[in-house]
Structure 1
Amino acid sequence: MSCFNSSRLLDKTVVITGASAGIGAATAILFAKAGSNVILVARRDDALKKVQDQCVAAHKESGVSAGGKFATVKLDVSDRSQIAQFWDKVPADLRKVDVLVNNAGFVLGVEKVGEISESDIESMFSTNVFGLIAMTQLLVNHFKEQNSGHIINLGSIAGREPYAGGSIYTATKHAVRAFTGSMMRELVSTPIRVTEIQPGMVETEFSVIRFRGDKGAADKVYEGLEPLTGTDIAEEIVWAASRPPHVNLAEVFVLPVSQASATINHRPKAQQ
């Protein structure tokens, strides 16, 4: 794990949305270990405080002298008025941001087209697309002013391949992929880097939310195989951020060994 202690990450300041659990929390902890400062953004204040405590402990355990400043910002990225107040909530000594990790996002339900509620459609697009775009627009201007920065967007295999029962979620992730690709082309004349991380099956609270709290249904998604973990994806995010300034990992597509596509997987444990 020496790559995560690279001097390139020392005392860098990272903003992570959706940092209260799953991939976001794991990413915050790894950046803390690498000697970075982290601004944790999410809706759940109590959960954010717990992750902040884990970051403090991880930084202390690492023995790295740089970084170690952590702040929480209670913010719902689906609410653009809250995003507009972001800088007011950030401590003054953390306002020079180096990396934005747009991790906030979720999926609701497996309903087919014609059965999907308007509220579910609006919720997914408001967070997964409009919130991501709003946070990016806020930070990209900051990065342009300082002539440096890195935007890392959490896409998905769903942004590469549609599947039945996921029309709205796959639409949001296709939008993220298109937005990220266009932005990278627009920023090609600047030192600002743009990365999209595209995970396959990751076992976090993601599927529990999809099945509206039904843990049994969520567990069946990963039954018989070994899925990715939040930490697996966090490692790819921190790896991308730790590359030399002239290196941009534009897309990182990450699957568990037992998965080949959105709908093709092998479940060896189920056969035992």
Structure 2
Amino acid sequence: MKKIVLITGATSGIGEATAMLLAENNFNLIITGRRQDRLNILKEKIENETSAEVYLLHFDIRNPDQTEHAIKSLPNKWQKIDILINNAGLAVGLSGVNNGVLDDWERMIDTNIKGLLYITRLVSDKMVEKGEGHIVNISSIAGKETYPMGNVYCATKHAVQSLTQGMRLDFLKHGIKVSSVCPGAVNTEFSLVRFKGNEGQAEKVYEGFTPLDAHDVAETILFVVSRPRHVNIDDVLVMPTDQAFSRDFNRKKP
């Protein structure tokens, strides 16, 4: 029987790549996000190219009422979620605390911390009832280091790391696995979102070295969720070969 995996933020990047890879590896999927058109396209692609079943949930994870309504609307056959992948997250802006943009701060905190908590509370409650499950939080190198102008984003990812540890302790007696996957530089929409659509600025982030791509991280997630029941991968840091720390790169000159 195929396990059911719920992936938040599945409309692009790591979430989309993970959905495709898990579908190819004998999992059924609940894919969620705010962009209905992209969810529809991904669902069609998965169903055309794999044997996986797919269910869509279109909502904004920052909204607790929408999140609760979405999870409670799942048909019975989709209620027993085996694996939750908390992938939805973003960085917005790159500024000092003294000139930070409040809306940017709120978007990061509401998505990266509060949204993760809203959906985890609802899904984990069902996992506790059945005495098993797996929660995978997609964190970042920013959850292990703090870099200049990354203050609030780094704080949110440090919170994800702490929440992962807290969940691991809380769910230990319930047989629920909890894991954290922390990527370094990944060439997705991440920088485009951070720089609010400025493609030139976003492209400069990856100049002179080979970053990870979304599939690299998806392969790591597949490894984490496919271990035997008695094995839990607590925390994985996956980096490009040309990156040592958050801001230390081996950039080749043009």
CA distance in 1, matches of 2:174, 2:230: 11
Match of 1:96 in 2: 80
Match of 1:45 in 2: 36
Measure how far apart 1:96 and its partner are: 1.2
Q: Which runs of 4+ in 1 moved over 6 A?
A: none
Equivalent residues, number: 254
Deviations 1:8-33 (A, max 9, x none): xx510000000001000000001110
2:185 touches 2:240 (CA, 8 Å); kept in 1? Answer: yes
Structure 1's unaligned 5+ residue stretches are 1-9, 61-67
CA distance in 2, matches of 1:173, 1:241: 21
The amino acid that maps onto 2:209 is L
* Residue number among 56, 63, 68 corresponding to 1:72 in the alignment: 56
CA distance in 2, matches of 1:218, 1:165: 15
1:71 touches 1:91 (CA, 8 Å); kept in 2? Answer: no
2:21 touches 2:219 (CA, 8 Å); kept in 1? Answer: yes
Provide the aligned C-alpha RMSD in A: 1.0
**Mapped pair 1:109 → 2:93:** yes
Match of 1:259 in 2: 243
Measure how far apart 1:259 and its partner are: 0.2
DSSP 3-state at the match of 1:143: helix
CA distance in 2, matches of 1:11, 1:43: 26
The amino acid that maps onto 1:74 is H
The amino acid that maps onto 2:28 is N
| Aligned pairs (5 A) from 1:213-252 | 213-252=197-236
DSSP 3-state at the match of 1:40: strand
The amino acid that maps onto 1:34 is N
Measure how far apart 1:97 and its partner are: 0.7
1:29 touches 1:58 (CA, 8 Å); kept in 2? Answer: no
2:141 touches 2:182 (CA, 8 Å); kept in 1? Answer: yes
TM-score, normalised relative to structure 2: 0.97
DSSP 3-state at the match of 1:107: coil
